[in-house]
Chain A
Amino acid sequence: MKLIFAPLFVLAGLPLFAAEDLSKPIEALRSVQKEGQGNEAAGKAWQEIVKADAANLPDVLKGMNGANPLAENWLRAAVGVIADEALKAKKLPVETLVAFLKDTQNSPGPRVVAFDLIQRADAKLAESLTPTLLNDVSSDLRRHPVAKLIEAGDAALEKKDKDQAITAFTKGLGGARDEDQIKELTKKLRDLDQKVDLPRHFGFLMSWKLIAPFSNADRGGFDTVYPPEKELKFDASYEGKTTAVKWVDFTSKDEYGKIDFNKPFGMEKSAVGYAAADFLSTEERPAEIRIGCKNGWKVWLNGELLFARDEYHRGAKLDQYKLPCQLKKGKNMILVKCCQNEQKEQWTVEWEFQLRVCDATGTAILAER
Chain B
Amino acid sequence: MNEAILKIKTPDSVLQTMKTSFVLVFCLHLSSFAFADWLQFRGPNATAVSSEAKVPAETLKIAWTADLPGRGLSAPIVVGDKVFVTSSSGPGQETLHVFCFNAKDGTKKWERVMRTTGRTMTHPKTSVAAPTPCSDGERVFALFSSNDLFAFDLGGNLLWLRGLTFDYANASNSLGMAQSPVVMDGTLVVQSENDSESFAAGLDVATGRNQWKLERPKAANWSSATLWKGAVALQSSKGILAVEPATGKTVWDYTDGASTTPSSVVSGELLYAVSHGITALAPEKGSVTQLWRNEKLNPGTASPLVLGDHIYVVNGAGVLIKASLKNGDELWKLRLKGPFSGSPVAAGKSIYAVNERGIFQTIAPDAPEGKVTQEIELKETVLTTPAVSGGAIYVRSDAKLWKLQ
Selected contact of B91 from candidates A35, A50, A143, CB within 8 Å? A143
In the assembled complex, A74 has its CB within 8 A of some CB on chain B? yes
Total number of B residues with any Cβ neighbor in A under 8 Å: 41
Contact with B along A107-139 (1 / 0, CB 8 A): 001000000000000000000000000000000
Which B positions have Cβ atoms within 8 angstroms of A? 90-92, 110-115, 117, 119, 121, 123, 148, 150, 156-163, 166-167, 169-170, 172-175, 194-196, 203, 207-210, 218, 220
Residues of A contacting B207 in the complex (Cβ-Cβ under 8 angstroms): 36, 39-40, 43
A320 and B91 within 8 A (CB): no
Stretch in A88-96, A307-315, A350-358 touching the partner? A307-315
Which A positions have Cβ atoms within 8 angstroms of B? 32, 34-37, 39-40, 42-43, 46-47, 50, 69-70, 72-74, 76-78, 80-81, 84, 109, 140, 143, 178, 180, 294, 307-312, 314-317, 320-321
Per DSSP, are chain B's interface residues mostly helix, strand or loop, or mixed? loop
- What residue of chain A has the Cβ atom nearest to residue B94's Cβ? A140
A81 and B123 within 8 A (CB): no
Residues of B contacting A69 in the complex (Cβ-Cβ under 8 angstroms): 115, 117, 163, 166
Instruction: Take A36-B203, A36-B208, A39-B208 as given contacts and tell me if A77 and B114 are in contact as well, using a CB distance cutoff of 8 Å.
Output: yes
Give 26 CB contacts A-B under 8 Å.
A32-B161, A34-B166, A36-B160, A36-B162, A36-B207, A36-B208, A36-B210, A39-B209, A43-B159, A69-B115, A70-B162, A73-B117, A73-B148, A77-B112, A80-B111, A80-B113, A140-B90, A294-B174, A307-B169, A308-B170, A309-B170, A310-B196, A311-B172, A311-B195, A315-B121, A316-B174
Residue with the highest number of chain A CB atoms closer than 10 Å, among B119, B121, B173: B121
For the complex, what is the distance from the CA of A42 to the CA of B208, rounded to whole Å? 12
Residues of A contacting B210 in the complex (Cβ-Cβ under 8 angstroms): 35-36
A76 and B113 within 8 A (CB): yes
- What residue of chain A has the Cβ atom nearest to residue B161's Cβ? A73
A314 and B174 within 8 A (CB): yes
- What residue of chain B has the Cβ atom nearest to residue A315's Cβ? B174
A72 and B115 within 8 A (CB): yes
Instruction: Take A43-B160, A77-B114, A314-B195 as given contacts and tell me if A35 and B175 are in contact as well, using a CB distance cutoff of 8 Å.
Output: no
Residues of B contacting A316 in the complex (Cβ-Cβ under 8 angstroms): 174
Residues of B contacting A321 in the complex (Cβ-Cβ under 8 angstroms): 119
Instruction: Take A70-B117, A314-B173 as given contacts and tell me if A35 and B112 are in contact as well, using a CB distance cutoff of 8 Å.
Output: no
For the complex, what is the distance from the CA of A143 to the CA of B208, rounded to whole Å? 35
Residues of A contacting B170 in the complex (Cβ-Cβ under 8 angstroms): 308-310
For the complex, what is the distance from the CA of A37 to the CA of B210, rounded to whole Å? 10
A109 and B158 within 8 A (CB): no
